[in-house]
Amino acid sequence: MRLAAVSLSILVLVQLNAFGQSSASGAKQVISLTISSKPAVKVGSIVGIHVVLTNTSEHDIVVEREVRGTDCAIDVRDQKGNFAPDTKYGLPFNGHVNVDDLDPSTINHNDLNGALVSIPVKAGKTWEWDLDATKRYDMSKPGKYQIFIQKLDPEDPALPAVKSNTIIVTVAP
């Protein structure tokens, strides 16, 4: 069961990282993502990310969300462009480790149990939520971090993942 949950999580991340694919139907993405955060936090503080999803289509859509936010890929990089270290919780979700290299004993299987919710979003309307970047990445080292998120298009997961704007957060001593 644990391995199946890890495999499902990895599959979602592989789909999120599948840039360059195009839909055979010629469909357009129906959402946009905009993120924001406090520009500076102290070491040890939560780096909260406020997400605004906008339905850019001319019709109502249904967006699937995993209540803990693992349906979104979060990308956090340091000043040199290197990924910030994964936390133990973030390891299976961030997509930086090959499934063959994962040691199942290092993953808490309770972290892999989530709940999906379906949220209707009317045409042209927004839906907002918050994510905690420090839950998935170790940002305890002072410096500037570049952050963006990605989410699969709710109507056509074969499209490239929808990418948000990039923000910079300074972690100060």
Beta bridge partners of 172: 42
User: Residue 130: its pLDDT value, please?
Assistant: 94
Query: Whole-angstrom Cα distance, residue 130 to residue 118?
Result: 17
Give CA angle at 163 (161, 166), nearest 5°.
155
Contact of 23 with 158, CB cutoff 8 Å:
yes
Beta bridge partners of 73: 150
If pLDDT is split at 50, 70 and 90, which confidence band does 36 have? very high
pLDDT at residue 10 tops 60: no
Pairing of β 31-36 and β 48-55: antiparallel
pLDDT in tens, 90-110: 877 777 666 666 666 666 656
User: Residue 116: its pLDDT value, please?
Assistant: 77
pLDDT in tens, 56-102: 999 999 998 886 677 899 999 999 999 999 988 787 777 766 666 66
User: Residue 70: its pLDDT value, please?
Assistant: 77
User: Residue 126: its pLDDT value, please?
Assistant: 97
Query: Top-level CATH class of 2-172?
Result: mainly beta
User: Residue 88: its pLDDT value, please?
Assistant: 83
Report the 3 state secondary structure along 79-121.
CCCCECCECCCCCCCCCCCCHHHCCHHHCCHHHHCCCEEEEEE
